[in-house]
Amino acid sequence: MTQKANLEIALTPGEVEAALRESEQRLRWLASIIESSDDAIISKNLDGIITSWNSGAERVFGYSLSEAIGQPITLVIPQDRQSEEREILTRVRRGERIDHFETVRQRKNGSLIVVSLTVSPVKDANGKIVGASKIARDTTEQKKNQELIATLAREAEHRSKNLLANAMATVNLSQSSSPEGLKEVIGGRIQALANVCSLFVETRWIGAEISAIAIQELAPYSDGKRTFTDGPQTLLAPDAAQAVAVALHELATNAAKYGALSTPEGHVRLEWSHGATGTIRLLWMETGGPVALEPTRTGFGTRIVEQMITQQKGKVRFDWRKDGLVCEITLPV
């Protein structure tokens, strides 16, 4: 009965040939997948000698097939990480699989790359482990992007905290004789901070040009005849830019209410120049308006200008002249 059953399941020569063709086709298909992969797909024996090397390995590591075959896999391992290969081979001999092991490898030109390794034991027909297959994915750019994102997140946290601190300072220093007046004062100062933040976006939060800050804060009063700005191209760091924005907002608001911009004949001129000791000097000059009388007590606008600038280790000097207010601001840059 057994003999008859064996005869019944025996394959015909045609079936054997078809099975071989199918097996061969699968092997070619598998080889094509391996060869076209962007990842480095490598096999090695238990002594760590390279036995196969696909096109992805050539692209990732820079060695050609002829340069790699027969060489130890330590060819692509930095000197200070040679012990990793010994540990990997030990685990492979035990039949273990290593998944997504992140490490550093070295290209032919000496440059280092970050890779994610997956290593699997390779067995012969009898189930004996005879080597290992290794897939190495170059994650250098991905790692750089992750580090950049982390850096940007830390920077955004720092900037947002600084912005909120400045906003809190403006609120704490703001006073008015009426709720509506207080709302207007605080709103104007917060808007000055918001305006300068829009400039930071254009420079990816590197800072803001003094000229751009001045244009924004003087825009409500500028008709091309009453306000003038002049100075060299100067990029202020975000913290200093916020301080200058609020200071110019206060000076412009005060000029519109009580100073040169409160009369049709008044003018404001803002100049800035670089000092010899790594400083920037801004000079606000009002002419043609009412006589500037020195106040008997420090006003809230003056106070906020002084606080914002001194927080940046700068100095402020007010000069109430007969022909208009002059304010000098000095900041380290």
133 with 148, same domain: the answer is no
Q: What is the pLDDT of residues 141-198, one digit of tens each?
A: 888 888 888 887 777 777 777 766 667 766 666 665 677 766 777 778 788 888 888 8
Q: Is residue 131 part of a domain?
A: yes
259 shares its domain with 307: yes
- The percent of residues above 90 in pLDDT, for the chain, comes to 54
pLDDT of residue 2: 45
pLDDT score at 27: 59
In a domain, 20, yes or no: no
Look at residues 138, 159, 184 and tell me which one is the last residue of a structural domain. Answer: 138
Average pLDDT of span 274-278: 86
Q: Find the domain containing 72 and state its range.
A: 37-138
Per-residue model confidence (pLDDT) at position 37: 77
Give the pLDDT mean for 119-124. 94
pLDDT tens for each residue of 312-326 = 999 999 999 888 999
Pair (217, 127) in one structural domain: no
Residue 11: inside a domain: no
pLDDT at 1: 44
**The pLDDT of residue 273:** 96
Statement: the pTM of the whole predicted model exceeds 0.75: no
Mean pLDDT (whole number) for 203-215: 89
Q: Answer yes or no: do 59 and 190 share one domain.
A: no
User: Which residue from 324, 260, 315 is spatially nearest to 294, judged by alpha carbons?
Assistant: 324
Position 25 in a domain = no
User: What's the total number of domains in the chain?
Assistant: 2
CATH of the domain at 132: 3.30.450.20
SS3 9: helix
Query: What sign results for the dihedral spanned by CA atoms 257, 258, 261, 262?
Result: positive
Mark which of 116, 138, 160 sits at the end of a domain.
Answer: 138
In a domain, 9, yes or no: no
Would strands 129-138 and 112-123 be described as parallel, antiparallel, or unpaired? antiparallel
**Comparing C-alpha atoms, which of 191, 239, 231 is closest to residue 214?**
231
**How many residues belong to the chain?**
333
pLDDT at 29: 66
Residue 224 covered by a domain: yes
Are residue 192 and residue 131 in the same domain, yes or no? no
pLDDT (tens digit per residue) in 26-47: 756 666 656 667 899 999 999 9
